[in-house]
Amino acid sequence: MTTITRFAPSPTGRLHVGNIRTALHNWMLAQKTGGKFMLRIDDTDPERSKEEYTVAIRADLAWLGMHPDGEERQSLRLDHYDAAFEKLRASGRVYRCYETAQELDLKRKVQLGRGKPPIYDRAGLELTDADHAAKAAEGIAPHWRFKLDHSTPITWDDGVRGPQKFDPATLSDPVIRRADGSWLYMLPSAVDDIEMGITDVLRGEDHVSNTAVQVQMFDAMGATPPRFGHEALLVGKEGKLSKRLGSLGCDAFREKDIEPQAIIALLARLGTSLPVEPIADVAALVETFDLSTFGRAPAKFDDADLERINTALVHQLNYGSVQDRLPDGMGEEAWHAIRPNLETVSGAHDYWAIVTGPIELPEFSDEDRAYLAEAAKTLSWGDNPWGALTSALKDSTGRKGKGLFLPLRQALTGQNHGPDMGELLPVLGEETARRRLERAAG
């Protein structure tokens, strides 16, 4: 059976690093097994869902290189939820309730005060036809709960957490539909997972108790539940659920000039027993994707890791993939000379300014000026002008090490450190190099 995974964001905000990670793992699982990865927009809440977020979610996934094999939108599938609901109603698996939020809150407080768990008391099930008629006469519409079957434990073998077992009597019958007919998350999601043929659901462990309920929904609708895997949550490096991570998304990464490959390489393995490495080849990451490597402890997200991986990946990027982000006129040779010194691609602009000039020179001693005059005369242009220049100067002046190299670097770039001169000198060109040496010689 073909693996079909899905990423199901609610378009009530931008993607953040936590849901990017969930999307990625679902995408990788589909890639690894030659399956399909679906995008499902959970937009049943018309008040909080915004089209601009749906558009941004698609764009962010595309920027990260995760291209869905199809997309569904819950707001276009309401008739499917109605149909499923009617069947559950006919089989007695949903029931009407009228409690207000305040009444439910009070019930919970009373239960907690008596040392009991705050589970819905199923008062709705006790209502008679006359009670319902009286509510209707008052113009009060019911909301609907799904009736959990208390007769057998709920079990599944979780891809990350191992065998799971829940006593359904410890769970409240979930409200699935509001009095105005609108849907809560629980039922539409299960209906879609069935109708989209979803075989595997990977999501955060904050969904574990939803899964317990949904396993019964799948059964009640005559479907086999998909395989589930609940990943440990992503936390800040200090080990706590962090507010900042909840708003850290693609815009922030782009602003810091982080490559999408770096985000992928980090999130693919963070929280697993596999080493987090600067792997640019996403196929290699997909190859090693394995739920059995996922740990139960929260995965710690640290910006320093992301920056480290980004830097290492920038050093591997080929010219073609960055060309349109480089300064005008910067060619392949220059990219290769400068690349090893960069932390981000946009850093190339600073280094390119060294090539185009003007550069600022330090104060040279008389001795160094004489040395640089000699260098200007010695400079010759062949395959390896830097190698030729420095070895000739070594012979003619007896200088070596820093005394040999540093004044040349300073005269040619205005800097004490920087790109490999053997690679940079050809980028500067003979004329500029000679002019700079002569100018530094005074």
* Min dist. Cβ of residue 207 to ligand GLU (A): 6
Rounded Cα–Cα distance for residues 424 and 441 (Å): 20
CB of 428 to ligand GLU, least distance (A): 53
Segment interacting with ligand GLU, rule: CB under 6 A, options 7-15, 149-157, 335-343, 419-427: 7-15
Would you say 9 or 278 has its CB closer to ligand GLU?
9
Q: How many residues touch ligand GLU (CB under 6 A)?
A: 8
**Cis bond upstream, residue 168 (ω within 30):** no
Minimum CB separation of residue 153 from ligand GLU in Å reads 22
Q: Is 243 annotated as a binding residue?
A: yes
Are residues 318 and 279 in contact, defined by beta-carbon separation less than 8 angstroms?
A: no
Residue that has been written with the tokens 């040619």 in this structure: 412
With respect to ligand GLU, which residue has the nearer C-beta, 231 or 368?
A: 231
CB of 40 to ligand GLU, least distance (A): 8
Q: Which two tokens stand for residue 52?
A: 């601009």
Q: Judged by CB under 6 A, which of 3, 4, 5, 10 binds ligand GLU?
A: 10
Stretch of 4-12, 158-166, 317-325, 403-411 lying at the interface with ligand GLU (CB under 6 A): 4-12
Question: Which residue number places its CB atom closest to ligand GLU?
Answer: 42
Q: Closest distance between ligand GLU and the C-beta of residue 347, in Å?
A: 36
Tell me: does residue 74 bind ligand GLU (CB under 6 A): no
Q: Which is nearer to ligand GLU, 15 or 279 (CB)?
A: 15
First to last CA, the chain: 77
Residues β-bridged to residue 156: 164
Each residue 195-234 as x (binds ligand GLU by CB under 6 A) or -, in order, gives --------x---x---------------------------
If you search the block for the tokens 């100018």, which residue do you land on?
439
9 binds ligand GLU (CB under 6 A): yes
Counting Cβ atoms within 10 Å, is residue 281 exposed (0-12), middle (13-18) or buried (19+)? exposed
User: Based on CB atoms, which residue is closest to ligand GLU, 198 or 314?
Assistant: 198
Of 145 and 203, which has the nearer Cβ to ligand GLU? 203
Q: How far is the CB of 42 from ligand GLU (least distance, A)?
A: 4
Looking at 23, 29, 42, 226, which residue binds ligand GLU (CB under 6 A)? 42
- Closest to ligand GLU by CB, 10 vs 242, is 10
Residue 172 or 210 with smaller CB distance to ligand GLU: 210
The span of 6-14, 294-302, 313-321, 339-347 binding ligand GLU (CB under 6 A) equals 6-14
* Token code pair at residue 83: 């149909």
Cα–Cα distance between 17 and 35 in angstroms, integer?
24
State the burial class of residue 20 (Cβ atoms within 10 Å of its Cβ: 0-12, 13-18, 19+).
buried
The reply to whether 411 sits near ligand GLU by the rule CB under 6 A is no
- CA-CA distances (angstroms) from residue 241 to 198, 225, 245, 266? 29, 30, 8, 18
CB closer to ligand GLU, 218 vs 405: 218
CA nearest neighbour of 422 among 412, 431, 432: 412
**Range in contact with ligand GLU (rule: CB under 6 A) among 3-11, 262-270, 273-281, 410-418:** 3-11
For ligand GLU, the closer of residues 172 and 189 by Cβ is 189
Q: Which stretch binds ligand GLU (CB under 6 A): 5-13, 82-90, 231-239, 370-378?
A: 5-13
Query: Which is nearer to ligand GLU, 10 or 199 (by Cβ)?
Result: 10
Q: Which of 8, 17, 191, 326 binds ligand GLU (CB under 6 A)?
A: 8
Residues 143-202 that bind ligand GLU (CB under 6 A): 185, 189
Binding-site residue ranges: 243
Q: Which residues bind ligand GLU (CB under 6 A)?
A: 8-10, 42, 185, 189, 203, 207
Indicate the annotated binding residues for ATP. 243
